[in-house]
Structure formats: C-alpha cells, structure tokens
Structure 1
Amino acid sequence: MKQFLFLFLTTLILAGCTSYKNVPYLQNPQIVNDFPEDLPLYDAKIMPKDLLTITVNATDPLTAAPFNLTVQTSLNTSISTVSQPTLQQYLVDNEGMIDFPVLGRLHVGGCTKREAEQMIQERLKAYIVNEQPIVTVRMANYKISVLGEVNRPGSFTVSNEKVNVLEALAMAGDMTIYGVRDDVKLIREDAEGKREIINLNLTNAGIVTSPYYYLKQNDIIYVKPNKVKAKNSDIGNTTSLWLNMTSILVSIASLMATIFIK
C-alpha cells in the first residue's frame, strides 16, 4: 500500500512539473544575453495593399499644397452630419506602385518609410527649390490578427508600425491556460503573394533573436489548444449528444404512454 501511494504521489509531482515547464515564456534568457551579434532595429517595409498617408511640408505652404491632396469625409455629430477635409490616402498596388500628385507613379513597395521619404524628397527638388521639403510617410492600415486560445481574439491596428509576437499576444489578453506555447503558428504572406506557416516556440528565449519575432502587417497569430482542452471539448460534445438522445427517448416514451393509456 505504501509503495502504491509513493508511486502515485511521484507520478502527480512529475506530471505537475512537466505541465509547468510548458507554461512560462522565455525560459532560457541566457541565450539572448550571450547572443554574439547586435540585433538590428526593426523597420517595417511597405507592401502591396498598404494604405499610406504622405504629407509634404515646406516653408512656403503654397509650394507644398499641390502635393497634399485632401478629400471630404463625413463626420457625424449629435446635431448633424458635417464634412471635413482629410488627407488623401494612397493604396499600394500589386506592383508596389502608388499614384502621387504631380510626381506621377512611384515605386514604394519594398521600401522602408525612411527610404520612401528620401525618394520623394529627391523627386520634389524639381518643384520645390531653395529648400529641403519635409516628407512624412505613415502606414494607415498596419494591422495584425490573433486568434485561437487567447482571451480577446481579434484584429489590432498598430499605430507605430512595429509590434513583436509577445506584444501581439498582450493585445489579445495573453494566452489562456489551454494555449500551446511551444507551437504557436505564424501565418504570413509576402509581397509576391507566397504564404507560409511558421512554428514559434515561445517558451524558448531564442525567439527574441528570431527573424519572426517582429510581425509584419497582416500577419496572423494562431494559438492552438492543448490536449486537455481538446479532451474537454470531446467530453462536452459527447455529453450534449447523450442528453439530446435521452430527451428524444423520453419524449417518444411519453407519447407512447399517452397513446396506450387512451
């Protein structure tokens, strides 16, 4: 009896340790601390279907005005609906091109924001002389999606165009206790339309040095459920099936009893 009890307790302890090892993130931080190379700063690149806002500023506002097109947008108030001007947004087509006023077709696909700004500045020299105009490029629709075993699944817009996988999970309220942390799926589509699914192990601190640590626009993070959640789901489905069958049988028995009594 004592041997059985000892084996039972030992099994419980080992199972608890095994489960705990699958829960914490970044379990071996020394890998990152001892990493031999300086990690480059991440800078997002412009991709097809990005929406860009581009502003041009100069000392003389009139010289910059032709490059800052506006459109009228409706604004609902408690009294009425009014329209106000907002900056024109530029959709990057599948070839990485945008149609920019005066300058015409510009290839911005694959450029960082800074590269795109410098290119536009160079093109503007023929129209804005005697000064260096200030060009600001922003991505208006930089978003990522998180779904699966997280507390608040959904799509999230990133205002600073820079987000890593851990920040994305934080936006979604972190994983539930049923989320598999060592096999998170990253679904990504590149500028040529090629799709790939990458497995991320978030229990390994080495993820911080991975090229997939920072997310690109339109990336999808999927957290799959662990075996416990899957078993609970099966139990729930089986229980519902049995309850439905029992309810049907009771209804049939009640109907037959009513018929024979009459």
Structure 2
Amino acid sequence: MNRFSYRNPLAWVAFVIAILTGCNTPKNVTYFQDADTAAPLSVATPLEIKIYPEDKLSIVVHSKDPQLAALFNLPIIARRVGYSSQTSLAQSQEMSIYTVDGEGMIDFPVLGKLKVAGLNRRQISDMIKDELMSRHLVKDPTVTVEFDNLYVSVLGEVNNPGRYNLNRDRVTLLDALGMAGDLTILGRRDNVVVIRNVGGTTATYRVDLTKASELYASPAYNIQQNDVIYVEPNDNRVRQSTVNGNNLRSTSFWISLASLLTSVGVLITNIK
C-alpha cells in the first residue's frame, strides 16, 4: 500500500476533499440499531387524535330515511379526496363541515350545542348517535366523523418538506416522516425535534431514530395535530455551507478550491 506523500499533488487533492466533504457511516444513518437486542422494547401507549378548539370536522348523519337524515346535516359538499389510478377521475366524499369553537363546542342541527373537545372520532360519533336515538329522533342513525383540517408540518432534511393532512386516528412519528419521503442522507437521525402545543405552552421532544427503545418510548412517538417535526442537518450538510454562502455545489467554491490546489502544487514543486 502506498503511503501518503507530501510531494504528491494528487495525495493533497484527495486529502483536502476528504476534509471538506467527510463521509457518513452506517452508525450515523441506520435506524433502530438496538432493535435486535434480546430484551423486548416498551412502546408508548397508543394515542388517538383528539379534537381541540379551532379544529374542523365533517359529520354526516345517514339513515334509511334520507329526508329524515337531512334534517341533521349541514349543507353537504363534495370534497375531492384523491384520484383513481385506473380512471384518473377525482373521487369525492360527502362532508358537512363544523368548526369547533373556543369552548370546544359545535352547534349541531336540532341537537344544539355539543361538546366535542377532548374526544376522538369514535367517541363523537357514538355521542351523536346516542343523542339521536335517546331523543327518538332517528331510529337507525349512522354517523360518520372525519377530520377536515388536521395536519402536521415536517421540515428540515427530508425529501419532501411540507404540511401533511392527518386522516387517521393514530399517526406515529415514522408515519409522518414517511409522508415527507423519509430523511435525506444529510439529516441527523439521532436528534429529530418534535415541537408540540400542550395546554397553551410549547413542549419540545428530541428523538433518536437510531435507538428503537428511545423512539418507541418517547411521548413524541404518537403524533398530534399541529405538531412540527424538524430534522436537523448533520455535520456534512453544515460543512457544505461557508460563512460567505459558498457550498460544494457553487462555482465560486470550486474556483477557490482549484486555486488553493494549484498553489499547493506549485509549493510542492518548489520543494523538490
């Protein structure tokens, strides 16, 4: 094996590039590195998404008697929810939109004010169904409750940063990162930040994705609406940026690097 030569310009080129770019190791990029341990991993209690003031809900009442059911629905709109891969035609869903007020209430037709804050979708559906039946208003109600504006924001070193709608009762941190296309190779796996509004105050959680035991036990494992997930850049990404805004992709950076290497080559030549 050839040793590093201080008189070899190519060796200096390789040395400088290695210092500037660095490299990722499996230890830095591999998830769940402790998942194969003998001890079973504890998982945070699964949490269903609950409703809070200013959330929006779609609540639709169905019955064998459509005219009777119509008395308990706001004007129904058709909302596009996706596209068929075969027909490319937009699919639609019937929705009656309610906005939860500051006291956690919605104003439901005929039934009046109903408190929904702190309840999940199933609990809201059961409550309305019980009210309709106990008051002898509808004998066979079917109540469909859907989220309308619940979302999570995923920022930083992910492939597709942005805001993503929540349409399931349970969403994990891994689900949210998957929506955003997973972390880039330049994202830190060991320090993913989740920012959450808890009772009017901001709580910050830090999660190490390389440790399954820490991930599954974290309060941030179960995502809630309005959470902000931030993936920090790793050292390689930080190293790519300089104080004057140059980075490894900029023309000025490579011109500067070429000038430096030329100077080094001339210096080495003069030493010979």
TM-score over 0.5 for the pair: yes
- Extract unaligned runs of 5+ from structure 2: 6-17, 81-91, 257-272
**Counterpart amino acid of residue 164 in structure 1:** T
Equivalent position of 1:197 in the other structure: 204
Relative to its length, the structure with more helix (as a share) is 1
Equivalent position of 1:56 in the other structure: 61
CA distance in 2, matches of 1:180, 1:87: 40
TM-score for both structures, normalised by structure 2:
0.70
In 1, are the aligned partners of 2:147 and 2:166 still within 8 Å (CA)? no
Question: What does the per-residue CA deviation read over 1:192-245, in whole Å, with 9 as the maximum and x for residues that have no partner?
Answer: 3221111111111021233321211111110011222112111662578x89xx
Q: State the SS of the aligned residue for 1:230.
A: helix
After superposition, the Cα gap between the structure-2 partners of 1:68 and 1:111, relative to the gap in structure 1 and judged at 3 Å, is same
After superposition, the Cα gap between the structure-2 partners of 1:32 and 1:198, relative to the gap in structure 1 and judged at 3 Å, is farther
Equivalent position of 1:182 in the other structure: 190
Equivalent position of 1:46 in the other structure: 51
**Counterpart amino acid of residue 28 in structure 1:** D
Q: How big is the shift at 1:106? A: 0.9
Q: How big is the shift at 1:93? A: 1.9
- Extract unaligned runs of 5+ from structure 1: 6-11, 76-83, 247-262
Q: State the SS of the aligned residue for 1:183.
A: strand
After superposition, the Cα gap between the structure-2 partners of 1:97 and 1:184, relative to the gap in structure 1 and judged at 3 Å, is same
Question: RCO greater where, 1 or 2, for CA within 8 Å and sep 6 or more?
Answer: 2
After superposition, the Cα gap between the structure-2 partners of 1:86 and 1:205, relative to the gap in structure 1 and judged at 3 Å, is closer
Equivalent position of 1:89 in the other structure: 97
Q: How big is the shift at 1:127? A: 4.3
* Residues paired across the two proteins, number: 225
Question: What does the per-residue CA deviation read over 1:149-169, in whole Å, with 9 as the maximum and x for residues that have no partner?
Answer: 111111111332432111211
Equivalent position of 2:30 in the other structure: 24
Q: How big is the shift at 1:130? A: 7.3
Paired-residue identity, %: 40
For 1:145-160, list aligned pairs within 5 A: 145-160=153-168
In 1, are the aligned partners of 2:57 and 2:145 still within 8 Å (CA)? yes
**Counterpart amino acid of residue 45 in structure 1:** K
**1:131 equivalenced with 2:139 (yes/no):** yes
Q: CA RMSD in A?
A: 3.6
CA distance in 1, matches of 2:100, 2:124: 12
CA distance in 1, matches of 2:131, 2:148: 23
Q: Select the residue among 46, 71, 74 that pairs with 1:66.
A: 71
After superposition, the Cα gap between the structure-2 partners of 1:125 and 1:28, relative to the gap in structure 1 and judged at 3 Å, is same
After superposition, the Cα gap between the structure-2 partners of 1:115 and 1:236, relative to the gap in structure 1 and judged at 3 Å, is same
**Counterpart amino acid of residue 68 in structure 1:** N
Q: State the SS of the aligned residue for 1:22.
A: helix
Equivalent position of 2:114 in the other structure: 106
TM-score for both structures, normalised by structure 1:
0.72
Q: How big is the shift at 1:86? A: 5.6
In 2, are the aligned partners of 1:31 and 1:205 still within 8 Å (CA)? no
After superposition, the Cα gap between the structure-2 partners of 1:115 and 1:161, relative to the gap in structure 1 and judged at 3 Å, is closer
Q: How big is the shift at 1:176? A: 1.4
CA distance in 2, matches of 1:69, 1:197: 39
